[in-house]
Structure 1
Amino acid sequence: MTLLKLVEDRPTPKAVYNWKVYLLAAVASCTSCMIGYDSAFIGTTLALDSFKEEFNFTAMDESATNLLSANIVSCYQAGAFFGAFFGYPLGHFWGRKVALLISGLVFILGAGLMLGANGERGLGLIYAGRVLAGLGVGAGSNITPIYISELAPPAIRGRLVGVYEFGWQAGGLVGFWINYGVDSTMAPSHEQWIIPFAVQLIPAGLLVIGGIFLRESPRWLFLRGRREQAIENLCWVRGLHRTDIYIIEEIGAIDQALEEQRSTIGLGFWKPFQAAGSNKKVMYRLFLGSMLFLWQNGSGINAINYYSPTVFKSIGITGTNTSLFTTGIFGVVKFVITFVWLLWLIDHVGRRNLLIIGAIGGSICMWIVGAYIKIAAPTENPKAHIDGGGIAAMFFFYLWTVFYTPTWNGTPWVLNSEMFDPNMRSLAQACAAASNWLWNFLISRFTPQMFAKMDYGVYFFFASLMIFSVVFVYFLIPETKGIPLESMDQLFEIKPVWKAHKQLLEQLHEDEERFRHDIEESGLSTTKFATEQVEDTAKFA
């Protein structure tokens, strides 16, 4: 398979893979830039001497500073947890576009509050600002993957939702390096630590400005009964006329899915809640989507993101500037590997295989790093320069990054954006995003205490959880690459799950051949047949 070869559910015109879908995905993914930047910059900003001195951290003992650092970091995740649920009514009633704009504006308000903090006023504005910023990114983390998946052609849906992850890593790359930059070029001062806080406003501003020009999701417009606007937006995004066979098939699939929901779950704000409480199949899929983020956070990624100076210190890296530089390299590795994941892995290797491979490889690396720390005890035996054992531990740490980044970092978001039908998707994404932020909160809140009490055991803990995730994925998660959103219910009906993808694709190809055979039997031209189908579909709706 070549680098850009696509696995399609049906013959797809080249016009469908146009710049518009990539641009819309990039603008919406400014939300993930906001998230990625925060996860990277906050821990290293708290490690700056200028921040510690202004807020009197230097006069506190280690347990007190650990508690304050954990509170500053984790209140953002607490806000994001609730923001993920607030995103559901926003996306349902006002649409994906308006919800994205609101999330950006709330984030800007929170980031602005943080800039008012100083030693005299204390940390109150930082706490309040981080909660508000968390609300904004929580809502954005709900809406963005839904919006992108509803716009994306099946063959590149993973790649386009992957743009969301790419934005996360781009923000993280800047966040990891900015504190190294201010630490290397500026003397300790209020301005030194406030600059990293101010940079948060850039991706949020880009989201608000770019969001004004976004097109609303056609699938949401169909759901709300705004059919003409939905068809217009769909044709614009696909770059095709409404009489094109591809458009007719897509409209027919959406109408069929909505009719099926109308007769089963029902259409409306509360219907998904009722379905989740009464339909075991829906509840089961919500469970799968939410559990993916338990395993994602169980890999240890957010312990590393938020407290990277602490992590590298445990391996034997000494000195604030050296620790910040090492953290920056970690960000570069993640960014580069994410690009490979986005361009090739997610839509070629597939979601399921990536998760299994990443968990096995990442677990092995974590066991090795933990074993080194147990044997060498670098924090108890500090050295002026890292020795050969420390270099080997760093190698396996970066190798862990290579395994984790193209697998568990973004793939759970892709799966959750595509494994639910349109009427359940917003609530399901809210549950998935809330699950992510819940586990994210717990990890960020207790990581300093874990390192203080468990030492090398932290690495063994995360390595064990990664092994458990392999069992979960192998037996419970089917492959979704190339499957139309409207066919996800069929996919999850097929057992065993490791054979479901192949069986459903074969069935979809048979349906496609039958449809084109009907065109030939009708004796009508493709355009005439498509026109009649448009009229019939409109009457049906």
Structure 2
Amino acid sequence: MGRFFAVSVAVLAATGSFLFGYDSGVMTDVIQSPNFLQYFNTTQASAIIGAINSTYSGGAAIGSLQGGLTMDRFGRKFTIQMGAFICLVGATLQAAAHNLAMILTGRILAGWAVGLLSMSVPVYQAECAHPRSRGMMVGMAQQMIGVGFIVSTWVGYGSLHAPNTSQLQWRFPLAFQVVPALVLGIGMMFVPESPRHLIEKQQYDEAWRVLQKLHFDGSNDAWIYREYTEIRTTIEAEKALGTPGWGAMFTVPQWRTRLLHGVAVQAFTQMTGINVIGYYQTIMYKALGITGHRNTLVAGLYNCVGPITNLIFIVFLLDRVGRRKPMLFGSITISLALICEAALNSQNPDGQRLGYSIGGVFFLFLVSVLFSLSFGPCSWVYMAEVMPMQIRGKGNAFAVGVGNWAVSTLWNQVSPIALDKIQWKFYFVFVACNLCISLPVIYFFFQETKQKSLEEIDLLFGGRALSTLPEEVGVVALQDEKEQASVLPVEDASYPA
């Protein structure tokens, strides 16, 4: 099966990222609905709207942290399916909402589901991917987030053409979440568990068969066996350190360093301001004098730009140029685009100057393009790559829960108020974060991980797990590896030792 099967697995898993994008983008159109605002007696810039978005992010933070427990105990597949089921419940509550409490509860559950999916999907993709194409495979997560945004926008745009007296304007977009949730929950029944999780649970025969399904091209038995041996040896060596709880991530120096990298890359992604634009772009367009259906139409076009750019980047460039350089590029160029956006807005306070309004839309679109060439795919890839196996579940859970969703919750709560009170000056908060925090940290501390196996990445952070063990343990592990190789010659590698 080989590469086609591996790509198919990555695409199906990325349906979870589609839900991430759809759930994140759907409220952009829902809060444009006159019927929704009237039904819940609110306005676009109210604290209620901020609460709806922040409860979603808060639920996602909880879901991400909880995923660290289920991924390690029950596996990657189970966690992804669990997220799909919770999303079904949340979508049903939102679509059937008769009061604000139902909307908020539904958004919390949707956030919880997306939190589970946002931390488990990149891990599953990374553990199933070949090192040469891991950037593209994990970058598929960001791709499907963008596609989710596109679908949410156009579903919302079509629904807004219903009469203002019709609740279809907002109930249908919220109900549509059920479709990808069902596809994901059912589809994951037909794909294998991560081979690394299988090895960790000592299901060696099944892990070997999965590796062959994912990577066999007709002539690379030797490479697959070396990968199998390397994964098994590394996992067994890490287990000799003890089964880590949450505290071990902070007490083992190498693990703590790698955890900080994962948290940082997620937080830096939020500091670009991309999600604030995604959630509140209709408010930004309104400030530029773009109102009515044109507002939603521009939002729909905006949501198409990023995924198109992202697809080109992950297919043709990401596994060549790496992760570090694109993020440095993004920190600088996104800041410049936001400075230009702020300057244009400052000279167009009433949104009546057409040229300035067009320029404002252009730079918001440019931020999406630059993000898709940098932090968009790189943040998920880098986070999944830097975590060692023993803390990969809990580490990614913590990184996404704290670095992504906790920071996102803060921005979601304050952004509508800030856009109303200080308007274009708010953009400079993100400029300062990019240039004063993200840029120097990435430049001085981030490692380049492209085209290395997940086990080889250990060397970038101070050595493999074997080198951190007592000498006698490391020697035994290495001897076991040699004995396995002698028992099963690679040219006859049809089954693991």
Instruction: Tell me which amino acid in the other structure corresponds to 1:38.
Output: D
Task: Please list, as runs of the form range in 1=range in 2, the aligned pairs for 1:55-204 lying within 5 A after superposition.
Answer: 55-57=40-42, 66-118=46-98, 122-184=99-161, 186-204=163-181
Would you say 1:376 and 2:341 are equivalent positions? no
In structure 2, the residue matched to 1:481 is 450
Q: Deviations over 1:12-61 (max 9, x none)?
A: xxx74x21111111111111111101221102211211111222226xxx
Deviation for aligned residue 1:186: 4.6
Q: 2-side partners of 1:317 and 1:256: how far apart?
A: 61
Task: Please list, as runs of the form range in 1=range in 2, the aligned pairs for 1:61-460 lying within 5 A after superposition.
Answer: 66-118=46-98, 122-184=99-161, 186-239=163-216, 244-263=221-240, 265-266=241-242, 268=243, 271-314=244-287, 316-377=288-349, 381-383=350-352, 386-435=353-402, 436-460=404-428
Deviation for aligned residue 1:463: 1.6
Assess, with a 3 A threshold, how the Cα gap between structure 1 residues 387 and 236 changes in structure 2: closer, same or farther: same
Contact 1:345 1:406 (8 Å CA) reproduced: no
Assess, with a 3 A threshold, how the Cα gap between structure 1 residues 412 and 281 changes in structure 2: closer, same or farther: same
Contact 1:231 1:242 (8 Å CA) reproduced: no
Deviation for aligned residue 1:221: 0.6
In structure 2, the residue matched to 1:529 is 489
Contact 1:374 1:456 (8 Å CA) reproduced: yes
Q: Deviations over 1:212-253 (max 9, x none)?
A: 111011110100111111112212222368992112111111
Give 3-state SS (helix, strand or coil) of 1:482's partner.
coil
Would you say 1:23 and 2:8 are equivalent positions? yes
In structure 2, the residue matched to 1:45 is 30
Q: 2-side partners of 1:83 and 1:183: how far apart?
A: 31
Q: 2-side partners of 1:532 and 1:224: how far apart?
A: 25
Deviation for aligned residue 1:134: 1.3
Give 3-state SS (helix, strand or coil) of 2:161's partner.
helix
Q: 1-side partners of 2:332 and 2:295: how far apart?
A: 28
Deviation for aligned residue 1:318: 2.9
Instruction: Tell me which amino acid in the other structure corresponds to 2:338.
Output: M
Give 3-state SS (helix, strand or coil) of 2:10's partner.
helix
Bigger Cα Rg: 1
Q: Deviations over 1:78-135 (max 9, x none)?
A: 11101011111211111111111111101101111112213xxx11111111111111
Contact 2:64 2:400 (8 Å CA) reproduced: yes
Q: TM-score, normalised by structure 2?
A: 0.91
In structure 2, the residue matched to 1:504 is none
Instruction: Tell me which amino acid in the other structure corresponds to 1:90.
Output: T
Instruction: Tell me which amino acid in the other structure corresponds to 2:263.
Output: S
Gaps spanning 5+ residues in structure 1: where?
Answer: 1-14, 495-517
In structure 2, the residue matched to 1:471 is 440
Deviation for aligned residue 1:360: 1.0
Instruction: Tell me which amino acid in the other structure corresponds to 1:333.
Output: V
Q: Deviations over 1:313-357 (max 9, x none)?
A: 23x133221111111111011121111122122111211111011
Q: 1-side partners of 2:219 and 2:75: how far apart?
A: 23
Q: 2-side partners of 1:397 and 1:27: how far apart?
A: 30
Q: 1-side partners of 2:351 and 2:431: how far apart?
A: 25
In structure 2, the residue matched to 1:509 is none
Contact 1:416 1:428 (8 Å CA) reproduced: no
Q: Deviations over 1:491-514 (max 9, x none)?
A: 1239xxxxxxxxxxxxxxxxxxxx
Deviation for aligned residue 1:456: 1.5
Q: 1-side partners of 2:450 and 2:250: how far apart?
A: 28
Q: Deviations over 1:153-204 (max 9, x none)?
A: 0000010001111111110111122222222355541122111101111111
Give 3-state SS (helix, strand or coil) of 1:353's partner.
helix
Deviation for aligned residue 1:151: 0.5
Contact 2:87 2:113 (8 Å CA) reproduced: yes
Percent identity between the two aligned chains: 27
Instruction: Tell me which amino acid in the other structure corresponds to 2:110.
Output: A
In structure 1, the residue matched to 2:466 is none
Contact 1:243 1:531 (8 Å CA) reproduced: no
Q: 2-side partners of 1:354 and 1:375: how far apart?
A: 32
Instruction: Tell me which amino acid in the other structure corresponds to 1:395.
Output: F
Instruction: Tell me which amino acid in the other structure corresponds to 1:95.
Output: G
Q: 1-side partners of 2:169 and 2:453: how far apart?
A: 49
Instruction: Tell me which amino acid in the other structure corresponds to 1:487.
Output: E
Contact 1:272 1:423 (8 Å CA) reproduced: no
Please, what is the CA RMSD of the aligned residues? 2.3
Deviation for aligned residue 1:390: 2.1
Q: 1-side partners of 2:142 and 2:70: how far apart?
A: 22
Contact 2:216 2:224 (8 Å CA) reproduced: no
Contact 2:332 2:434 (8 Å CA) reproduced: yes
Q: 1-side partners of 2:41 and 2:174: how far apart?
A: 19
Q: TM-score, normalised by structure 1?
A: 0.84
Contact 2:254 2:462 (8 Å CA) reproduced: no
Contact 1:359 1:403 (8 Å CA) reproduced: no
